[in-house]
Structure formats: structure tokens, C-alpha cells
A and B are shown apart, each in its own frame.
Chain A
Amino acid sequence: MIKTLAILRRELIAYFSSPLAYLVMTGFLLLQGLIFYLVLAFLNNPGSQTMAPMEAFFGGTIFFWLFLLFVVPVITMRLIAEERKTGTIEVLLTSPVTEAQIITGKFLAALVFYTALWLPTGLYVVILRRYSEIDLGPVLAGYLGVVLIGFLFLGIGTFASTLTSNHLIAAILAFVGLVALFAVPLVEQLLVSDSLFKAALGYMDLWSHMEDYAMGIVDTRHVVYELSVGLLFLFLATRSLEIKKGR
């Protein structure tokens, strides 16, 4: 536990001592702010449908997903790849730390950083509350969804980072993996017959998961899906670290 926390802490030091972190945070907040503005402008239009602003903010736009698809690989790309490139992986793997502890510590650091990215968007809720009534339930469920989907995506990114010593390749691998997962509903729509396969793919539709969270519906099936697939990739990351070590 102490060792995992030490790795987590070291990773956060690494995040915040690189300009990349500030670049990502600034870009993220600028664009999120723009989207928030667009959502409000759209909903202020008398002709548009009625919808809670935060619901639209979380689940209603493609922008939400575009960010996740680009930002997550950037957050995770250096986790293990950097250690391989500089050789510090040798220090970690010859100290009394297990591969699982390394992956856990690093993944949690990425999750903390990712959550920190979203924290300032809480201001939007504060602003909204000054002008209208807000149902906090769906907002909190929306944030839960953000963290859960982040858990899944960051798990994939962490796994990608164990596969190479090159940041760029790690980021691209993660991006491809995320896009593939995100594109599952497209495949589902192409299937005509009402097969079991189609139904199974339907469960994996992340867009609809996020829509549900944003409406305040916390479906345990969704939660289990995000957590279990995230954990599966963390397990694979651990194995990948163990296997690559032998060579």
C-alpha cells in the first residue's frame, strides 16, 4: 500500500513538472468552457428542446467524446513507456515492488490527474445555480459517469503504454483502442438481424451509457461494464509488464 502510494505520488510529481500537464489542462478547460457556452446558447433558443444544461453538457454532444478520445491517450502515454525509455523501469522492477503495484500506482495517478481536469467544470454548476433551479442528482450521476468512463479509458491507455517504449506509439495505440471501443454501436447498427450478438454489442454502447448517467440513471450494468473492462485491461497491463521483463 505504501509502495503503491509512493509510485502514485511520484507519478503526480512527474505530471505536474512537465509542461504537457498544463497544456492539456488549459486546452481542456478552454474547450469545455466553449462547449458549455454553446450548450447554454443552444438551450436559450426558444425553438430548441428542453433539457437540463449539464445533461446536454455531459451526454448530449460529440465534443465530450472527442475530448476523452484525445485527452486520455495523452494522459496515459508516458506511464510505462517513459520508464522503459529512460531505463528507470529497471530500478522499479529490481526493488521489492510487484508489477501489480506498479500498474496500480501509475493508473491511480492517471485517474487522479483526469479527475482533476474535470474538477473546475464544477464551477459551471455553481454558475447555473445562480440563475435557475438545478437538480443535483443527475449532475452527480453525470460526474460519476465521467469518472467511470475515465476508469475504462485510462485502463486501456495504461495497457497501451506497457507495449512500447515510445510515447507516440503508446498514444496512438491507446487512441485506436478507444476509437474501436467507441465505434461498437456503429457496428451494432449495421447488423440487421436481432441476434444475441447484436444485443451484446448494444450493452457496450458507451454513448448511451453516458446519456443515462447524465439523466441521473445509474444502471449497475453500465457500472459493472466500465469497471470490469477497465480492470481487465489493468490485469493485461500487469501481465504485459511481467512478460516483457523476461526479455
Chain B
Amino acid sequence: MIEVENLSKVFVDTAVVDDVTFFVPEGQILGFLGPNGAGKTTAMRMITTFLRPTAGTITVAGINADDDPVGLRRNIGYLPENVPLYPEMRIDEYLRFRADIEEVPHRHQGARIDDVVERCLLSDVRRQVIGTLSKGFRQRVGLASALIHQPTVLILDEPTVGLDPNQIIRIRELLVELGQDHTVLLSTHILPEVETVCDRVLIINRGRIVADGTPDGLRSRMAGKPILEVVFKDAPEDQVLGTFESLTGLLGVDCLDDGRFRLECDTTGDLREPIFRLAVDRGWTLLEMSPGKASLEDVFVRLTTDEQADPAEEA
């Protein structure tokens, strides 16, 4: 649905988006993840034809952005960053205006407005003036207006930023629902959002794609060696370290506070049983033993902090 090839945008002489290529198939929810200033908004603005790329081609729903920008825009519902709205208009007035410029035929406008108002939970406030709305409502008005013409592709720039936790959950539910019959490209720097909503993640840093995959796939690829965390009660540190040396398949031990140890294992065998037996033999009380899980957060930090942001790492 969305094809982006060798897309670049140079402002003065910094490449904000640098030779980015990706493809979003129909029905996918793709999360665009990256630190602030990574080029997410710029890339999205180029896909919606608001900005002209320095180089590269963009195709949405089979329409090339250079050949027919207006046609391309017909297929896109776009929620820009910070949700620009006209403060002096009422919600339904604004939605009617958007329906007009998005070419929704007059006889369908009433039904379309009712539909998006209901979907975005705006029924109680639809006669209210936009300038008096809270941030959460403004966000929903923006989303409603992006849906008014039933676009096949939704492009949402940080749809949940500035919302309270309840509103975030509601918007995420709505996004998942929308993902069933739309292709969605959304940007965020909130990691749990990606985990709950997206089918696929693109991590972008300094204008380049540094990782591409499902949230689970990325996590396991980045997890590296399996980790075990073990907590003993009243076990002398040096004794524990000495005993662990005899274990096969143990690559390293980190001694944390309060009798907590972090073991890096190799992938051949399961060390949980030998550790348990050792503890029993020595008379140490085993309080806790759990596999450490690399979070997407770790992946993100590894990929977007400077010393490890080497693109070779994604292989």
C-alpha cells in the first residue's frame, strides 16, 4: 500500500531523512519508532506530499506522488503532529468542512460524520467549539477528521502524545480496530504503544532505518545470550561465585545487590536445575530465579544510542 524508495530530505546540508526504503503491505499497522528529531515527522510529511523529497519516490495505493499528488492525498487520512485545528469552529462544523474538502458526497456526509463522531467518542461534545476542548478531545477530533473520507491508508503522527493513561488506552483500542480495515503508519516514541498496537516496527535514527521487524522478532534478535537472575538468602558472595565456576554452560556472573546474581548462559542447556541442586547442597535458600527478558526498550536504546547505532548491527 505504501512504497517508499530511496527517500531523502536534505535541509540546508543536514540529511534529515537519509536514503530510506520500506514497503507497507495492505492491512499492516507499522510503527515508526525513533527518538525525537530522528526524521519521523519529515518522512511522514513527504509521504503525505506536504513536503517535497530531495530524492526518492513515494507510491501510495498505486499512485505516484509526483504524477498525481492530489489523487494520492485522496487515499490518505492524515493526523499531523500537534493536531492543528481551527479553534473558532464547532466540532461538527469542522467535520463537515473536512468532508467537503475530502470530497465526501453531500448525501453521505451526515452518515459519515455520525460514524466518526461515534467511533472517536465525541457524541457528547459535537456541538462544542474546538478552542474550548481539552488535549484529549482535540486529538480525537483530529483522528475523526482523518477518518471522515474512509481512506485506505492512515498516517498518524504521534496519535497518543499528551493524553492521560485512560485516553491512551482508548485511542490504542481504536487504532487496533482501525487496523482491521486500514493500512496504518503511525509514529511514536512510546515503546509499549508499539508492542500493543503494531504488527511491525521500523526503528529510525538520524534519518536512517536501523531495524525492521515484528516487535517480538526484534526483541529476540536483540536479546543475545539467555539471562538468568537468581536471588539467594544469606549466601556469601565469594562462595557463590566460587561454586558457579564449576557450572558448565555459564559464561559470566554479575554480582548485583542483596544476594542477587545475574548469570549469562550459553544457549546449549538449561542451567536452572543444576543451580537449584547446588543451592540445596550448600544449604542456601533460593528466593527467586527468573529468566531475564530483553525489552524492546533495550533494543531501542541499543540501536539509537550513538556508540551502537552502527547499521551493521541490524544483521
Q: List A residues at the B interface (Cβ < 8 Å).
A: 2-3, 5-7, 9-10, 13-14, 17-18, 86-98, 245-247
Contact = CB atoms under 8 A, between A and B. Distances in A.
B89 A10 contact: yes
B93 A13 contact: yes
Nearest to A93: B50
A88 B85 contact: yes
Interface residues on B, range: 20 to 34
Contacts, number: 74
A96 B70 contact: yes
Contact of A90 (B50, B70, B87, B103): B50
Contacts of A17: 88-89
Interface of B: 11, 45, 48-52, 70-71, 73-74, 76, 78, 80, 82, 84-89, 93, 97-98, 100-103, 145
Contact of A95 (B45, B52, B84, B98): B98
18 contacts: A2-B100, A2-B103, A7-B101, A13-B93, A87-B80, A87-B84, A88-B84, A89-B84, A90-B50, A91-B80, A91-B84, A91-B145, A93-B49, A93-B50, A94-B49, A96-B73, A245-B52, A246-B51
Q: Which of B71, B78, B89, B101 has most chain A Cβ within 10 Å?
A: B101
B4 to A, nearest CB: 16
Nearest to A6: B100
Contacts of A91: 78, 80, 84, 98, 145
Nearest to B89: A13
B84 A96 contact: no
B88 A13 contact: yes
Task: List 8 A-B pairs, minimum CB-CB distance, nearest first.
Answer: A6-B100, A87-B84, A246-B52, A17-B88, A94-B48, A88-B84, A96-B74, A90-B80
Contacts of A94: 48-50, 73, 76, 78, 80
A240 B203 CA distance: 35
A94 to B, nearest CB: 4
Nearest to B93: A13
Contacts of A2: 100, 103
B100 A3 contact: yes
Contacts of B100: 2-3, 5-6
Contacts of A9: 97
A89 B71 CA distance: 18
A86 to B, nearest CB: 5
Given A92-B101, A245-B51, 7 more contacts: A86-B85, A87-B80, A91-B78, A93-B49, A94-B78, A96-B71, A247-B51
